[in-house]
Structure 1
Amino acid sequence: MGSLCYAELGTALPLSGGEYSHIKRGLGSPLAFIFMWTALFNKPASNAARALLFPEYAIQPFYGVCPAPEVLKKCLALAVLWFLGILNGRSVKIAAWVQTVFTVLKMMALSVIAIGGIVLLIKGRKENLARFENAFSSDIPDASQIAEAFFQGLYAYGGWWSLNYMAEEMKNPSRNIPLTVMTAVPAVTVFYLLVNISYLTVLTPKEVVSSVAVAVTWADRVIPTVAWIIPLSVTVSIFGALNSSMFILGRLSYAGSQSGHLPVLISMLNIHYSTPAPAMGFSTIIATVFIIPSDLIALTNYFGFSVWLMIGLTCASLIVLRYREPNLHRPYKVFLPVEFGMVAISFFLVLAPIVWSPQVQYIYAFLFMLGSLLLYLPFVHFKLHFNFVDKITCYLQLLLEVSPADCKYE
């Protein structure tokens, strides 16, 4: 439902910046600034979570049942994060090529696990089938648990909200965005469903929860002689996902700077590679800070809570644009009840944990988002400016070898 709503926005308004640009057009500059302020922290938090997953699969096989050292995992996570940040800051073509190669490798790895599970089910061993006999016999979760489960489950399906960030650089977005959504989302759903079924043919739910690297545990039991293939493949998968996320986050910072919501330096392009190198560096630095705590569940829950509020606002902007700009050219139009349903679901996912399981971090998250207005009012609305900022910008331009882009967003 969310991907279909975003497909309409991406085809009608193919602008760099994705959700930020759509909220600005539909709901106004203040809400767009709140979104950008929030996204500049929750999206790097997501990148940090992916970077921390990378060493879990890359290092853990060398330590067997023993946990790998935390310092080593953090160092490798930082190295991968900065490698991809520099890569995306230097060449869009190389980053796109890396993404294509690693996506193919990821699908091959998922195919191995999915086919392995199908083979085990066909053999019909009692121990493999027994885990499915009472698969839905647990206690019914409350609304808060359902929402938090969605945060963590939908985290794996998050590519659809990233597609619009590259709409401006896409060939024929009117055709390619809906086509991508309608083929990729079902394909990912089928693959992940088969993979999880495969896990449950070998592991108990308790083992799945307790395992740091589920695919590694699965491989050790199903294909022990070549078990190293699976952690290597999952590592490749995480690397590719992190690469695409880094690419997208740079576009958000770039669009925000073009609109005057961030320092002008961030919207500048490298004079040698024509890439938004300052924007990539800015987002990579923020993600680096989030790697320090290294609490994956906390990062994922915070990311899920804030991102679904932003998704709700984005879908609300779609509804507003339907009525405010009925003559806007829309190559693709989603069924209107889907838009209202998506807004309702998004706000349920935001409000359910607060109402049924209130925690202080949710209050902090709201205060953090509203705190962005303390910057918006003086520096954006009233255009407060300090001369020393221009001197710093000029110095950094020379140091980083960047210059303003040819055009600006209005």
Structure 2
Amino acid sequence: MEKDQYEQQIKEVNKSENNKMQLQRTIGYLEGVSFIVGTIVGAGIFVSPTGVLKYSLLNVGVALIVWTACGIVSLMGALCYAELGTALPFSGGEYSHIKRALGSPLAFIFLWTAMFNKPASNAARALLFAEYATQPFYGECLAPELLKKCLALAVLWFLGLLNGRSVKMAAWVQTVFTVLKMMALSVIAIGGIILLIRGRKENLARFENVFSAEIPDVAQMAEAFFQGLYAYGGWWSLNYLAEEVKNPSRNIPWTVMTALPSVTVFYLLVNISYLTVLTPKEMVSSVAVAVTWANRVIPAVAWMIPAAVAISIFGALNSSMFTLGRLSYAGSQSGHLPIIISMLNIQYCTPAPAMIFSTIIASIFIIPSDLIALTNYFGLSVWLMIGLTCTSLIVLRYQEPDLHRPYKVFLPVAFGMVAISLFLVLAPVVWSPKVQYVYAFLFMLGSLLLYLPFVHFKIHFEFVNKITCYLQLLLEVSPADYKSD
């Protein structure tokens, strides 16, 4: 009897909604650029953009070529994703595309891995933000770990609730923080240009014979590319919210073509600026390169760099929280996660349960933060899924030739991305094999132990329905209507 009452209440709640329960298209061109740029540009470019230079054996010319090449590779990948995002403008990013082209089991493996890897990454960002936000108050002493963890949890839940309540507000926050971080990068880039124009001998000397240092071997070049591509990570973020992009057939390609070249140019200018002031050895040995640069060039306002780092981390965390919520939402819509996660808030039409779910998982990683270190060995899974996504593009070209594609990437670009992804997956295993890579691979395959009973054979427990009813009433959410476009 009690169950019937709850089901009746749910039906009444659903009927009271006159409009369709769908994610609304509120992300325009500017917001899309902000999400991509804000996700890519994190603390790394301010703190330690030295990996590329280190593995280039301090060869300035080689390092700048690697930064440029990594930007081009990222743009190639983003253009492949742009075709998929315009042809299939649904939430979930790689998950949705892999499921469409390569089948449900592979999509479930991706979802399972992402539900471990991405929340851990968000937890790491939140802890790093807390460190930069609290350390100034403790001078040379270390800030208490408990304080940093409490602040990290507070930031996670603030952004989780913000994204669960209002997409427009989350997009506004993302735009503001992206503008602020790019202003800080502009100060560094313009400062370097001014120093070069003035033409001081010591500034120009570092760019004479830029290829005179030792040339790295193939393994070192590969490691330099790993470091550079990591710095561009996040170029795929727009596809996670394709369902909410206004006029996706136009805005997704143009957003990609604006964001990636802009980031590449900024990365090059900022690195040139660093090298104008610091020697390659000083740059590699510096704990925080941007702070060292500011202390030499603009000591009066050097304090703004730690603030810029905190702002940059906050913006990157906001966009990452946003996209992770959409991944959970898409997985639930496909029956790969509990159905409650696919429901939308009745008042705001936001995936509030998905945001709460992903925030809870990230919070779990913060409490015993040692767990975050485990995700270092899942880096290869990122490029594995990128390779599978670009393979999905190729498969769909042949499986569904009549699928409407407002934008089509040059097909050899997709084949090139598959080859690059395969290399980036196999190279660490071949050159520096570790047993942890085996554990990561087994963890990914372990998802099939859940897939077979609960997805393939559809085993279902009656008590889950009751829990779903309670949560639906508590959170005031309703099932989303299927979006046919």
Same fold (TM over 0.5): yes
Distance between the aligned counterparts of 1:288 and 1:129, measured in 2? 48
- Residue equivalent to 2:32: none
- Larger deviation, residues 193-202 vs 166-175: 193-202
- Residue equivalent to 1:283: 358
Distance between the aligned counterparts of 1:187 and 1:296, measured in 2? 35
Q: Does 1:112 align with 2:187?
A: yes
Distance between the aligned counterparts of 1:15 and 1:376, measured in 2? 22
Q: Does 1:365 align with 2:440?
A: yes
- Residue equivalent to 1:388: 463
- Residue equivalent to 2:128: 53
How far the C-alpha of 1:61 sits from its partner, in A, is: 4.2
Distance between the aligned counterparts of 1:189 and 1:294, measured in 2? 32
Count how many residue pairs are aligned between Structure 1 and Structure 2: 409
Distance between the aligned counterparts of 2:400 and 2:132, measured in 1? 49
- Residue equivalent to 1:304: 379
| SS in structure 1 of the partner of residue 337 of structure 2 | coil
Describe the shift of the 1:195–1:93 C-alpha distance in structure 2 as closer, same or farther (beyond 3 A): same
Contact kept, 8 Å, 2:378 with 2:437, in 1: the verdict is no
How far the C-alpha of 1:59 sits from its partner, in A, is: 3.5
Contact kept, 8 Å, 1:49 with 1:299, in 2: the verdict is no
2:90 paired residue among 15, 26, 33:
15
How far the C-alpha of 1:54 sits from its partner, in A, is: 1.7
- Larger deviation, residues 78-87 vs 283-292: 283-292
Contact kept, 8 Å, 2:112 with 2:447, in 1: the verdict is yes
Q: Deviations over 1:242-280 (max 9, x none)?
A: 111111110110010011000111111223322111111
Describe the shift of the 1:359–1:197 C-alpha distance in structure 2 as closer, same or farther (beyond 3 A): same
Contact kept, 8 Å, 1:33 with 1:376, in 2: the verdict is yes
How far the C-alpha of 1:148 sits from its partner, in A, is: 4.9
- Residue equivalent to 1:222: 297
- State how 1:307-346 maps to structure 2 within 5 Å: 307-346=382-421
| SS in structure 2 of the partner of residue 43 of structure 1 | helix
Equivalent residue letter for 2:464: V
How far the C-alpha of 1:147 sits from its partner, in A, is: 5.0
Equivalent residue letter for 2:269: L
| SS in structure 2 of the partner of residue 330 of structure 1 | coil
Contact kept, 8 Å, 1:8 with 1:332, in 2: the verdict is yes
Q: Deviations over 1:14-55 (max 9, x none)?
A: 111111111011101111111111111222222223223323
- Residue equivalent to 1:72: 147
| SS in structure 2 of the partner of residue 159 of structure 1 | coil
- Residue equivalent to 1:397: 472
Describe the shift of the 1:126–1:32 C-alpha distance in structure 2 as closer, same or farther (beyond 3 A): same
Q: Deviations over 1:183-237 (max 9, x none)?
A: 1100010011111222233334455445444323322222111112222223222
| SS in structure 2 of the partner of residue 106 of structure 1 | helix
2:244 paired residue among 160, 163, 169:
169
Any stretches of 5+ residues in structure 1 without a counterpart?
Answer: none
- Residue equivalent to 1:353: 428
- Larger deviation, residues 355-364 vs 221-230: 221-230
Distance between the aligned counterparts of 1:139 and 1:363, measured in 2? 33
How far the C-alpha of 1:124 sits from its partner, in A, is: 3.7
Contact kept, 8 Å, 1:152 with 1:300, in 2: the verdict is no
Q: Does 1:272 align with 2:347?
A: yes
Q: Does 1:31 align with 2:100?
A: no
Describe the shift of the 1:263–1:276 C-alpha distance in structure 2 as closer, same or farther (beyond 3 A): same
Equivalent residue letter for 1:156: A
Q: Does 1:140 align with 2:216?
A: yes
Distance between the aligned counterparts of 1:250 and 1:281, measured in 2? 8
Q: Deviations over 1:141-186 (max 9, x none)?
A: 553x555544443233233201111111111111111111111100
Distance between the aligned counterparts of 2:242 and 2:216, measured in 1? 41
Q: Does 1:103 align with 2:174?
A: no
| Aligned CA-pair RMSD | 2.6
- State how 1:249-264 maps to structure 2 within 5 Å: 249-264=324-339
How far the C-alpha of 1:96 sits from its partner, in A, is: 1.0
| SS in structure 1 of the partner of residue 233 of structure 2 | helix
Describe the shift of the 1:67–1:224 C-alpha distance in structure 2 as closer, same or farther (beyond 3 A): farther
| SS in structure 1 of the partner of residue 402 of structure 2 | coil
Contact kept, 8 Å, 2:378 with 2:440, in 1: the verdict is no
